[in-house]
A = this chain, B = another copy of it.
């Protein structure tokens, strides 16, 4: 089996959402597997001094316009949610809990969370909201709520976020293939070409 395409994202990142709808096709076309890696962008921003996009002068209005334009471009559901951005600990912890026993279910859950938030505008901040998303996939809500509150999954998310920073992740989405990092949903075409050509 070929090496993986690692996909780092924050559940509150619109560009992460847009990438999530394409990343598995990009990997499959090259015979690769994806590994999804939610992390907490807010923790990364403390290191880099960055602020949430929508709050940055000039860049904020541009980004909001760009998200609408990208949604039309990709032909995918899109709502600018309110509140936005949100803390995403609950969804990310639930993801790693699910992934420990079923990586494919964890990806389906991640897609459903992204769809709820950016496709339908439903907040996924509260653990109960995340449990509702999980329930739609047959995941027992009480088990998910227990996992979200458990120190083990808190620690796992903390470790994954710290590992992301150690690897140089500073934004969402961020991809790694063959040890090469690529930042931004814009770069998925270049990632595809990297995979097809084996680098350059």
Question: Are A190 and B57 in contact, with the CB atoms below 8 A?
Answer: no
Which A residues from 177 to 195 make CB contacts under 8 A with B? 180-181, 183-184, 186-187, 189-190
CB closest residue in chain B, given A187: B186
Contact partners of A50 in chain B: CB under 8 A: 56
* Other-chain residue from B56, B57, B170, B187 in contact with A59 (beta carbon distance below 8 A): B170
Chain B residues, CB < 8 A from A112: none
> Once the chains bind, are B168 and A58 in contact (CB under 8 Å)?
yes
Q: Can you tell how many copies of this chain the complex includes?
A: 2
B49 touches A170 (CB 8 A): no
Closest to A73 in B: B200
Q: Does A129 contact B (CB under 8 A)?
A: no
Interface residue from B49, B57, B72, B184 paired with A57 (Cβ < 8 Å): B49
| Contact across chains for A57 and B200 when beta carbons are under 8 A apart | no
- On whether the beta carbons of A57 and B61 are closer than 8 Å, the reply is no
Residue of B nearest to A72 (CB): B200
Q: Which residue of B lies closest to A189 (CB)?
A: B189
Residues of B within 8 A of A48 (CB): 56-59
Q: Does A169 belong to the interface (CB within 8 Å)?
A: yes
Contact B62 A170 (CB under 8 A): yes
B contact residues around A65 at 8 Å (CB): 181
Chain B residues near A47: list those with CB within 8 A: 57-58
**A172 CB, nearest partner CB in chain B, Å:** 13
Tell me the A37-58 residues at the B interface (CB within 8 Å): 44, 47-51, 56-58
Measured between alpha carbons, how far is A97 from B109 in the docked complex, in Å?
Answer: 58
Which A residues lie at the B interface, using CB under 8 A? 44, 47-51, 56-59, 61-62, 65-66, 69, 72-73, 165, 168-171, 180-181, 183-184, 186-187, 189-190, 200
Given contacts A50-B56, A58-B170, A186-B186, 10 further A-B contacts (CB under 8 A): A47-B57, A48-B56, A48-B58, A49-B57, A58-B169, A59-B170, A61-B168, A62-B183, A69-B180, A73-B200
